[in-house]
A and B are shown apart, each in its own frame.
Chain A
Amino acid sequence: DAGVIQSPRHEVTEMGQEVTLRCKPISGHNSLFWYRQTMMRGLELLIYFNNNVPIDDSGMPEDRFSAKMPNASFSTLKIQPSEPRDSAVYFCATTQWADTGELFFGEGSRLTVL
């Protein structure tokens, strides 16, 4: 398997623009997590899905952030409108068994909002 695939790897945009980050999970993994990593706050869980259903979105910072998982092979994290403080590396991670905690991370999407 190719692992968790994220795109784009790098995104530079201007404040106010819409940003869409994409994730393709490992086949057969039924839980998907979106994390944000910054120097100040470390790894923060934004939202996670189980069987394509959002289970906990309490980590989503505000209404500007939204995430979807329309099917088992694809998820998106959208920021609209983007702000400079959203600059971070966003990771998608998936697992077959959410109760064991073993997550497989993608290589991340580095977002810079000017």
Chain B
Amino acid sequence: GENVEQHPSTLSVQEGDSAVIKCTYSDSASNYFPWYKQELGKGPQLIIDIRSNVGEKKDQRIAVTLNKTAKHFSLHITETQPEDSAVYFCAALGGSWGKLQFGAGTQVVVTP
């Protein structure tokens, strides 16, 4: 089955700086890669996603890149703000229909 590894597990950044989270996946058949943000006491919420036919996608201050050859994808947050503090999960979908494999999560702390 799919295995997703996520790094780093924690990330502390100064407000205004950029944050980058990286994930690798094992199943070359995976074709959909979403990123979820989980705030304290809440369920994960989709913030951006990318499909295997696209190399990069951007939505305001967040962007995701995908390298299918290397089987890795990354989340980039620019001009970080305190409200970006949360746990971020990457995920990969492929092979088994309807099953997302999540990474272990990255705790992002943005300090003013």
Residues of chain A touching chain B, judged by Cβ–Cβ distance below 8 Å, are: 4, 31, 33, 42-43, 45, 48, 50, 55-56, 91, 93, 98-108
State whether A99 and B98 are in contact (beta carbons under 8 Å apart), knowing that A42-B105, A108-B43 are contacts in the complex.
yes
CB distance A93 to B43 under 8 Å?
Answer: yes
- Complex Cα distance, B41 from A107, in Å, reads 7
| Across-interface contacts of B49 in A (CB, < 8 A) | 101-102
- Complex Cα distance, B36 from A99, in Å, reads 17
What are 8 pairs between A and B in contact, CB < 8 Å? A4-B43, A43-B89, A99-B98, A101-B91, A102-B34, A105-B43, A107-B41, A108-B42
- Complex Cα distance, B43 from A99, in Å, reads 21
Residues of chain B touching chain A, judged by Cβ–Cβ distance below 8 Å, are: 32, 34, 41-46, 49, 89, 91, 93, 96-100, 102-105
| Across-interface contacts of A103 in B (CB, < 8 A) | 44, 46, 100
Q: How many residue pairs at the A-B interface have CB separations less than 8 Å? A: 52
Q: Which residue of chain A has its CB nearest to the CB of B100?
A: A101
- Complex Cα distance, B99 from A108, in Å, reads 19
A112 to chain B, nearest CB (A): 15
A14 to chain B, nearest CB (A): 24
- Complex Cα distance, B70 from A16, in Å, reads 48
- Complex Cα distance, B101 from A86, in Å, reads 21
CB distance B98 to A98 under 8 Å?
Answer: yes
- Complex Cα distance, B42 from A100, in Å, reads 22
| A-B contacts besides A45-B99, A103-B46, 15 pairs, CB < 8 Å | A4-B43, A43-B102, A45-B100, A48-B99, A50-B98, A56-B99, A98-B98, A100-B32, A101-B32, A101-B100, A102-B49, A103-B100, A107-B43, A108-B42, A108-B43
- Complex Cα distance, B34 from A43, in Å, reads 14
CB distance B102 to A98 under 8 Å?
Answer: no
- Complex Cα distance, B98 from A42, in Å, reads 19
Q: Which of A4, A43, A91, A98 is in CB contact (< 8 Å) with B97?
A: A98
Give 7 nearest A-B pairs by CB, closest first: A105-B43, A98-B98, A101-B93, A43-B102, A101-B32, A42-B104, A105-B44
